[in-house]
């Protein structure tokens, strides 16, 4: 009879045997560096690989072109995990020890920050290793692996949840790289993230002259150069922006952690003539610890948009991007996962990896360190210790912190979130801040990414095997889920998806992306001509 220890060892051996191939796959996704809702190459690469491994794949799941759901097996417990693969505009960087955006593209093209390439490949590797052990030992279980686009705007998971894709799963494993940490989340999970795009349209500019500044003669009425011009869409957008800045402090509590960010998706569409800009869009994204605060912020944003449109002679519309719930803990599954992390052991960096860190320090004019990375990245941290450190940062009333859309899984089945290290450089002195490119460059170096990535993969595989071979472990996680939700899905304390089942994902909006023109492949902002620009000041 196969023991769980034998199955785990086979899964661990499978990861080691396939390490080089999956490390290269991580770099493939890292190099694509495709931003939210536009991850065409990345999604296809995952789909093709999963099909080669025998998974049945639904492409475009949830009406999202770069999402997918892959399934292997048809009996036993259903265990889920996922890949993310979106990169972040403005973070283009080669994996070299000096600042170097990718050649031939606008310097503010996308790049991986966390990196999501590492996130997705770690989870994929864990699922594939568990599958290999299932086959070798005749174990009964079903594996479900999701492709989740647009995580940087918390895009796909609320959609998948609303449309029923998470129904019938017994447990979820959620992974994220974390600077110099190897642990699991205990009680304090992520908070809520909402995002919406406000569109201002000046569809009938002639109303302005009729209502506010009628021309004196028919000749004046016929000339757009001398008539009074409606403020138009750009003014509405600017008014929305400034009013929200003025009202910002009034909508948040003055303790705890929260953010409100904006991004101009589109502005103008007029020349410098005396013509009103007809169309402008601004996206707002806000995160906070509770749904009540989220609702309060929305009411103020909605009011600001209405008034900005009225002042500028426009109509206002809103299109939702996402609404997430807050995270729900499951300590039974978290404890099991951390015990498997202890079984695998802490990661370690090679001398090659340390030398890359020292090269960065030299290039920044710093004294290179013998070990340029904090020791904490090569140690495990008990989840209770991680929890205590986190709680020290927060007021007692705050039960959730920051945001991530993995929280959607946690309301449909017992869910664990594990972290393994992606290194950052040690500070030469307190208060020093490394340039952003340093963090991004390290994320493209396999000698620094692989140790944490494969610790996560082995931990996920081993934990899946526990749930499948030891029914009492899954039962304990399920019992806790029932208590926390007041009876499971639909229970008295359960929170349903915040988006409707017929929600249309916002894939039609003007998200940043790569394009192909007669000049070749470009970022959506053309590559600048350095000889055509002059510095001011």
CB 344, CB 459: distance < 8 Å = yes
Is the model more confident about 527 or about 358?
A: 358
- What pLDDT was estimated at residue 220? 55
- Mean pLDDT score, 77-85: 98
Whether the per-residue pLDDT at 61 is higher than 80: the answer is: yes
The residues of the chain that CATH labels 3.40.630.10 are 4-189+326-485
CB 95, CB 82: distance < 8 Å = no
What number of other Cβ atoms are within 10 A of residue 384's Cβ? 14
- What pLDDT was estimated at residue 250? 77
Pick the CATH number of 193-323 from 3.30.70.360, 2.40.50.140, 3.30.930.10, 2.60.15.10: 3.30.70.360
| C-alpha distance from residue 363 to each of 86, 135, 306, 353 (Å) | 29, 50, 51, 16
Whether the per-residue pLDDT at 21 is higher than 90: the answer is: yes
CB 313, CB 208: distance < 8 Å = yes
The residues of the chain that CATH labels 3.30.70.360 are 193-323
Is the model more confident about 132 or about 256?
A: 132
Q: Three-state SS for 537?
A: coil
Answering whether pTM is above 0.85, one says yes
- Beta-sheet strand order (sheet of 171-179): 56-59, 68-72, 142-148, 78-84, 171-179, 415-422, 183-184
Alpha carbon distance 263, 182 (integer Å):
33
- What pLDDT was estimated at residue 326? 98
Q: What pLDDT band is residue 217 in, cutting at 50, 70 and 90?
A: low
Lowest mean pLDDT segment, chosen from 69-78, 380-389, 404-413, 510-519:
510-519
What number of other Cβ atoms are within 10 A of residue 154's Cβ? 27
Report the sign of the C-alpha dihedral through residues 380, 382, 387, 390, in that order.
negative
- What pLDDT was estimated at residue 209? 66
- Mean pLDDT score, 310-325: 97
Whether the per-residue pLDDT at 505 is higher than 60: the answer is: yes
Whether the per-residue pLDDT at 466 is higher than 80: the answer is: yes
Whether the per-residue pLDDT at 530 is higher than 90: the answer is: no
- What pLDDT was estimated at residue 267? 87
Cα within 13 Å of Cα(143), Cβ side: 30
- What pLDDT was estimated at residue 275? 82
Q: What pLDDT band is residue 26 in, cutting at 50, 70 and 90?
A: very high
HEC sequence for 269-311: CCCCCCCCCCEEEEEEEEEECCHHHHHHHHHHHHHHHHHHHHH
Lowest mean pLDDT segment, chosen from 253-267, 420-434, 505-519:
253-267
Specify the DSSP element, H or E, that contains 419: strand 415-422
Is the model more confident about 15 or about 517?
A: 15
pLDDT, tens digit (0-9, with 9 covering 90-100), for 513-526: 999 988 888 999 98
- What pLDDT was estimated at residue 251? 75
- What pLDDT was estimated at residue 459? 98
CB 400, CB 192: distance < 8 Å = yes
Alpha carbon distance 458, 514 (integer Å):
35
Closest by alpha carbon to 325, among 405, 251, 260, 253? 405
Mean pLDDT of the chain: 94
Structural class in CATH, domain 4-189+326-485: alpha beta
Residue 65: φ, ψ to 5°:
-60, -30
Strand-pair category, 415-422 with 514-517: unpaired
Task: Quote the tokens at residue 91.
Answer: 């973070």
HEC sequence for 347-368: CCCCHHHHHHHHHHHHHCCCCC
Alpha carbon distance 358, 368 (integer Å):
5
């Amino acid at each position: 009879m196969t023991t769980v220890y034998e199955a785990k060892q086979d899964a661990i051996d499978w990861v080691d045997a396939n390490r080089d191939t999956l490390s290269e796959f991580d770099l493939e996704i890292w190099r694509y560096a495709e931003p939210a809702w536009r991850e065409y190459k990345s999604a296809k690469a995952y789909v093709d690989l999963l099909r080669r491994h025998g998974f049945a794949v639904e492409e475009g799941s949830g009406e999202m072109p770069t999402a997918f759901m892959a399934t292997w097996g048809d009996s036993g417990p259903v265990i889920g995990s996922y890949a993310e693969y979106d990169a972040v505009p403005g973070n283009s960087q080669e994996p070299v020890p000096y600042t170097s955006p990718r050649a031939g593209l606008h310097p503010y093209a996308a790049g991986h920050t966390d990196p999501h390439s590492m996130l997705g490949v770690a989870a994929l590797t864990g699922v594939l290793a568990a599958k290999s052990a299932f086959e070798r030992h005749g174990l009964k279980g079903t594996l479900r692996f999701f492709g989740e686009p647009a995580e940087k705007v918390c895009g796909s998971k609320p959609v998948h949840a609303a449309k029923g894709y998470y129904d019938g799963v017994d447990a979820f494993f959620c992974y994220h790289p974390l600077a110099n940490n190897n642990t699991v989340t205990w009680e304090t999970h992520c908070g809520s993230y909402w995002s919406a795009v406000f569109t201002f349209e000046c569809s009938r500019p002639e109303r302005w002259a009729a209502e506010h500044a009628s021309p004196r003669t028919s000749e004046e009425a016929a000339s757009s150069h001398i008539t009074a011009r409606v403020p138009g869409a750009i003014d509405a957008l600017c008014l929305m922006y400034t009013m929200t800045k003025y009202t910002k402090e009034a909508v948040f509590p003055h303790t705890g952690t929260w953010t409100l960010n904006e991004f101009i998706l589109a502005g103008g569409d007029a020349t410098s003539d005396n013509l009103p800009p007809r169309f402008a869009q601004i996206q707002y994204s806000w995160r906070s610890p509770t749904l009540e605060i989220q609702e309060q912020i929305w009411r103020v944003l909605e009011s600001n948009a209405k008034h900005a449109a009225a002042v500028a002679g426009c109509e206002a519309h809103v299109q939702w991007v996402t609404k997430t719930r807050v995270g729900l803990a499951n300590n039974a599954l978290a404890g099991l996962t951390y015990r498997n992390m202890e079984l695998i052991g802490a990661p370690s960096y090679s001398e090659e990896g340390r030398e890359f860190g020292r090269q960065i320090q030299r290039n920044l004019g710093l004294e290179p360190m013998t070990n340029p990375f904090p020791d904490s990245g090569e140690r495990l941290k008990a989840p209770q210790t991680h929890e205590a450190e986190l709680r020290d940062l927060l007021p007692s009333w705050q039960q959730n912190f920051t945001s991530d859309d993995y929280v959607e899984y946690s309301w449909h089945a017992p869910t664990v979130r594990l972290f393994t290290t992606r290194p950052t450089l040690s500070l030469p002195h307190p208060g020093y801040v490394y340039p952003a490119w340093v963090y991004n460059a390290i994320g493209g170096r396999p000698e620094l990414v692989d140790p944490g990535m494969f610790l996560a993969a082995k931990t996920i595989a081993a934990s899946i095997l526990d749930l499948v071979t030891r029914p009492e472990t899954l039962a304990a996680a399920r019992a806790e889920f029932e208590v926390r939700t007041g009876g499971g899905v639909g229970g008295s304390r359960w929170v349903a998806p915040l988006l409707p089942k017929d929600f249309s994902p916002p894939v039609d909006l003007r998200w940043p992306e790569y394009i192909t023109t007669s000049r070749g492949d470009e970022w959506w902002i053309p590559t600048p001509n350095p000889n055509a620009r002059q510095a001011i000041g």
